[in-house]
Chain A
Amino acid sequence: MAAARADTLQSVELADGVEIQLRVAGPAVRSMAYMTDLLIRIGIDIVVAIGAFMLLPELIGKEMTNGLYLLFVFFMEWFYNVFFEAGAKGATPGQRSMKLRVMSVTGGPVTLAQAVMRNFLRVADFMPGLYLTGIVCMLFTKRFQRLGDLVANTVVTYAEVPPFIVPNVEIRAERRAPSKVLTREEQAALLQFLERAPLWADERRIELAALVQPLTEAEGVEGLRRLCGMALWLQAPEDKSGTPPPLKGAAMFRS
């Protein structure tokens, strides 16, 4: 296991024994979702207020309208998030606009009880103002959980897989066995490098390849070439499609 991780993927083992990876969302995008929801809520409150106070006083009297509106505000304040998060989509309109979703830590959908818990505790997360407690708490938990999330056992994750750009390129490098025995994580890193390298500029590829100089035992373009060769070897030790054509310069990637 790598000591420090640069991504926000969280592994969860499902009841079926398979491990899935949740991409948890951080404070910034969640704040944006919250602001969106806040604007939506204020908008609804205003529209309902205008509608109610224009129509209802003549029918049921001013005091009754006041009372009904207070009830409405009460439910909007406490149950707007609960209603949407416990619903089929598992996200409020604001969260959906940011492509977020509330999930149970176990990977399952949020229950009504969990939705109530995590949203009622917003009061504590808000203190002393602007969700300071919640944000600090998120920074100290590896799943970006605020107090409400901790008690309800929930996480906010990205709902969609980021679009994966499949580079339509042919990588041409001579297959070569790695000079050392590689761990699984190292092998995975090499394979991912091969997958993503076509998306970068030559300079960047060479820069990254230089990081594994102990493995490639070469510098610059030659190091990159050897690295790609090792990754290709990991994919399939033998090339069945025929001999690779010779390489020229760094231009191993051709669209």
Chain B
Amino acid sequence: MTPAQFEKQIEPRWQKLEKLLKETEQSHPSAEVEELPATFRQVCHDLSVAQHRMSPQRLTQQLNALAIRGYRVLERHSSGGWEAFARMILVEFPQAVRAEWKLFWWCTALFYVPAVLIAVITPSYPEWAMTLLGPDGMMQIESMYGEASKPSDYVHENFGTGFAAFCFYIWNNVSIDFRTFAGGILGGVGALFVLLFNSLYLGAVFGYVHYSGNPLTLYTWVIAHGAPELTGVVISAMAGMRVGWSVLRPGRMDRRTALVLAGRKALPLLVGAAVLTSVAAVLEGFWSPMDLPPVIKFTAGGMCWLLVAMFLLFSGRRQTDAA
């Protein structure tokens, strides 16, 4: 068969594929669309033959482009919509945390131990916390947890409504989660840095309030939304560390493969952390500013911690791992 005959022979096939692809891409498939997979395979075969016979580039390039287009259409998968999202949050996320429990506890320790340390030493050595907070931070603390001030007044003054505060927390805190995760790819350094910085700052706030403010106001304010928020911080760092660790210690895989797999494992953690932080934003915007007796605040706050712990421990246990 001469090259010209070959070209003539395959032309109807790729023209048919082109027509079917065009219809499908514009979401108006005709009844012929059932023949798309078979036609696609035929054209793929023609492409292989053309490549082997070193047909003119114009032909191989055209077939190559058609094969790519066809593959895109055939391989298009729906993301699964809300159902898949709910499954990721309720099943895959807690499963992922449990699967990486060592990493979870490392990140938890790295977050809480420095915070507690600095909080404990602040009453004796307040200059550490003061340096960390800076003048602005100290002023803010005075206006929120001072002897005669309430955090809800501060929020009203700055945001006006609970909804506006909620929006601010989403924009600020969820973005920080995402950045923490991204920083993790640099061998985990970025995630670690954000984790430690937040830890020290948090410890400084607690220490400083004990030193010069009204600790009860602080605890009633943070106990509820602290549960999802602090857990979110820890888990977003955990997602970043997961990716960073695969760069440092790829194990038996090459680094590229290890990175891709780590990314897949980190995604539920990242999404879960973002959801926890969003829940925290709702609580911080609407629940925490309410003026209620400390007993109610502490009970509800304790419930929040319990709920988060139960969720991470037990949610999705019965579901078999789909992946």
Contacts and interface: CB of A to CB of B under 8 A. Distances in A.
Contact of A70 (B168, B178, B264): B168
Interface stretch (B28-36, B70-78, B203-211, B226-234): B70-78
Contacts of B144: none
A165 to B, nearest CB: 9
Interface string B50-84: 01001011100110110110011001110100000
A16 B41 contact: yes
A217 interface: no
Contacts of A108: 71-72, 75
B39 to A, nearest CB: 12
Given A18-B48, A188-B54, A117 B263 contact: yes
Report the interface size class on chain A: 35 or more
Given A63-B160, A90-B72, A164 B58 contact: yes
Interface stretch (B123-131, B134-142, B169-177): B169-177
B163 A124 contact: no
Interface string A119-149: 0111110010000000000000000000100
A161 B79 contact: no
Give the dominant DSSP class at A's interface.
helix
Interface in B5-62: 25, 40-41, 44-45, 47-48, 51, 54, 56-58, 61-62
Given A109-B75, A151-B259, A161-B65, A120 B182 contact: yes
A251 interface: no
B3 interface: yes
A162 B102 CA distance: 52
Contacts of B267: 113, 116-117
Contact of B71 (A20, A68, A235): A20
Contacts of A150: 256, 259-260
B239 to A, nearest CB: 10
Nearest to A68: B167
B160 A20 contact: no
Contact of A161 (B61, B165, B181, B260): B61
A188 B53 CA distance: 9
Contacts of A97: none
A64 B186 contact: no
A18 B54 contact: no
B161 interface: yes
A4 interface: no
B182 A123 contact: yes
Interface in A140-195: 147, 150-153, 160-161, 164, 166, 184, 187-188, 191-192, 195
Contacts of A39: none
B282 interface: no
Nearest to B271: A116
Contacts of A234: 54
Contacts of B178: 78, 120, 123
Nearest to A187: B54
Nearest to B257: A153
B270 interface: yes
A86 interface: yes
A234 B183 CA distance: 56
A6 interface: no
Contact of A21 (B40, B54, B64, B271): B64
B170 A20 contact: no
23 contacts: A14-B67, A16-B41, A16-B71, A19-B48, A61-B160, A62-B160, A64-B163, A64-B164, A71-B167, A107-B68, A109-B75, A117-B263, A123-B183, A124-B182, A124-B186, A151-B262, A161-B61, A161-B64, A164-B61, A164-B62, A187-B54, A192-B57, A234-B54
Interface of B: 2-3, 25, 40-41, 44-45, 47-48, 51, 54, 56-58, 61-62, 64-65, 67-68, 71-72, 75-77, 79, 159-161, 163-168, 170-171, 174-175, 178-179, 181-183, 185-186, 190, 243, 256, 259-260, 262-264, 267, 270-271
Interface of A: 14, 16-22, 61-64, 66-68, 70-71, 73-74, 77-78, 86, 88, 90, 103, 107-109, 111-113, 116-117, 120-124, 127, 147, 150-153, 160-161, 164, 166, 184, 187-188, 191-192, 195, 234-236
